Amino acid sequence: GYIPSDKVDEAVSKTLEYCYDDWAVAHMADAAGATTDAKALRARSRNYRHVFDKNVSFVRPRDSLGGWLEDPFDPTSIGYSDKWRDFTESNAWQATFLNQHDLYAYMQLFGGEAAFEQKLDGLFNAPPSLPDDAPPDIAGLVGQYAHGNEPSHHIAYLYAYTGAHYKTQARVRSLLDTMYRASPDGLAGNEDCGQMSAWYVMGALGLYAVDPVSATYVFGSPLLNRAEITLANQRKLVVETMGNGPDKPYIQSVSWNGKPWTRSWISHAELTAGGVLTFHMGIIPNKKFGNLAK
């Protein structure tokens, strides 16, 4: 149920990323009518549980006999041995939030939504220190959140799943403002196939796909006052932001085609049908918006 760190390099990250791969392929199996395969793949997508240690509330390396490696445990460490790393371009702080597909079940391992929210706070408020052997990919640190690399890019949006969506709004706006500059070295990390810029473009629109397989977008804190996106068959998506400003990162309300919208997310199918998505922004958080976790 997991990749052993005494046998394989970067085993913790591989275990977690294979879980998401299985989640994605399970949907393909369902679409193909291979329901038995889909069931097995969905079960395997929950193998993240086997590298999560409830005693420390982190994912961590495990050996082939089932024991936890590294004593004492250090969540900023890259690996338990000098031979290889246990994490891919990350450490236990970042990898602990790599689960993007089974979040409501995952949060229960921490003790529930409130405990998971506190863990997120802990990530962003942790000392931004790294060991000497940390790869340069762990860059753009806010606490132990690393905006310079992909493993962290969905994390600010996870507050939405706890019902504390206003924290997503504040954090995303801060990252948009501080992690990008109009200069040759204006990105916080490796551009890697355009991901750093893509994060900015989606964030500026106020949308982000935490779990692309679910085909939904979590709201963030839009920068643009207006954007028009040309869709198939001459349809158009308009995203407009009212009352926006540098000191107004918080969503007061949202409407979709003129009707009130209370969810902190919207589906790909709804957006690609075309329409007008309107954000109303303000200085003070509206903690009631998106406060229903699901």
Tens digits of per-residue pLDDT, 225-276? 999 999 999 999 999 999 999 999 999 999 999 999 999 999 999 999 999 9
pLDDT in tens, 185-196: 899 998 989 999
**Cα separation of 17 and 98, whole Å?**
8
140: left (phi over 0), alpha (psi -120 to 50) or beta: left
Q: What is the rounded distance in angstroms from the CA atom of residue 253 to the CA atom of residue 279?
A: 6
pLDDT confidence of residue 274: 98
SS3 content of the chain, % helix, strand, coil (to 5): 40, 15, 45
Task: Record the pTM.
Answer: 0.96
Amino acid 134 reads: A
Token output for 147: 């905006």
Q: Which residues of 2-21 are buried (b: 16+ CB within 10 A; e: fewer)?
A: bbbbbeebbbbbbbbbbbbe
Q: Give the integer Cα–Cα distance in Å for 196 and 179.
A: 10
Q: Say what the pLDDT of residue 291 is.
A: 83
Structure tokens given for 15: 């275990």
Average pLDDT, the chain: 96
Distance CA 3, CA 61 (A): 9
Mean pLDDT for 76-97 is 95
> How far, in Å, CA of 84 to CA of 87, rounded?
9
pLDDT per position as a tens digit, 109-168: 999 999 999 999 999 999 999 999 999 999 999 999 999 999 999 999 999 999 999 999
More reliable by pLDDT, 112 or 82: 112
Which residue stretches of 11-101 are H helix?
11-31, 35-44, 92-95
Kindly indicate the confidence band of residue 4, based on its pLDDT and cuts at 50, 70 and 90.
very high
Q: Name the amino acid, one letter, at 91.
A: N
- Give the model's pLDDT for residue 250: 98
Residue 294 pLDDT:
54
244: number of Cβ within 10 Å:
19
Q: Which of the 8 DSSP states describes residue 81?
A: S
Q: Which pLDDT value is given to residue 38?
A: 98
* Contact (CB, 8 A) for 243 and 204: no
For the chain, percent of residues with pLDDT exceeding 70: 99
pLDDT of residue 290 exceeding 60: yes
CA distance 291 to 165: 6
